[in-house]
Amino acid sequence: MTIQNDLERVLAYCEATRGSYALMAHSTEQKDAKQMFNTMKSDIDRHIQLINNRLEYLKQNNDLVKNK
């Protein structure tokens, strides 16, 4: 298993979690809970962007990945 595989696995997990947060925000009528879940979704959106940036960097700069 490579770091790229690990990052791709974590990315999939983060995307699933983001969907869960969005669903919970949509499902609740409590304003505070809705705001909390939307904030959590925004946080994980940042995480996803950072992971995608790292994956892109690896694809562009990792000789092992380039040669595949």
For the chain, the helix, strand and coil percentages under 3-state DSSP, each to the nearest 5: 90, 0, 10
Question: 44 CB contacts (<8 Å, ≥6 apart)?
Answer: 14, 17, 18, 21
**The pLDDT of residue 30:** 97
Per-residue pLDDT, 37:
98
The low-confidence residues of the chain, meaning pLDDT below 50, are none
CB neighbourhood size of 37 (10 A):
20
The pLDDT score that the predictor gives to residue 41 is: 98
pLDDT value, residue 2: 86
Task: Give residue 44's pLDDT.
Answer: 98
Could you tell me if 18 and 45 are in contact, meaning their C-beta atoms sit under 8 angstroms apart?
A: yes
pTM for this predicted structure: 0.82
